[in-house]
Amino acid sequence: MAGEALGHVLDPRSGRPAPAWGSVTVIARDAVLADAAATALFVLGPVEGYRWAGRRGDLDALFLIERDGLLERRATGTLGRVPESRDTSAHTGRSR
C-alpha cells in the first residue's frame, strides 16, 4: 500500500500486518507448536520474540534479522550452538 511492503501475518494487537524485519524458524517436537510459535515470534519481533523463545524449553528458534541489507543471526536452544557460516557477505538482495 502506497509503496509500503505488507506481509500476510497480522499483528492482533493492531490489526495491521507485522513489520517485515526478517524471518524466524522454529524447531519443536510438535509441528503445530512450531508453526504457531514461528508466527507468534514473528509478530513479537526479534527482540521480544527472542526473549520469549529463550525462556521456553520445548522449542528452539532461529531469527534472521535484516539490517541495512545484511542479515544478523540470533538463535536459542540447540540452534544457538550451530556454527555460523564463515561467509560474512550474506546480503538480502533487497535494494534500499
Pairing relationship of beta strands 70-75 and 22-28 according to DSSP bridges: unpaired
Q: What is the pLDDT of residues 53-93, one digit of tens each?
A: 999 999 999 999 999 989 999 999 888 777 776 555 555 55
Q: Where are the domains of the chain?
A: 1-77
Q: Cα-flanking dihedrals φ and ψ of residue 2, to 5°?
A: 50, 45
As to burial, measured by CB atoms within 10 angstroms (0-12 exposed, 13-18 middle, 19+ buried), residue 63 is buried
pTM for the predicted model, two decimal places: 0.79
Q: Which amino acid is at 28?
A: A
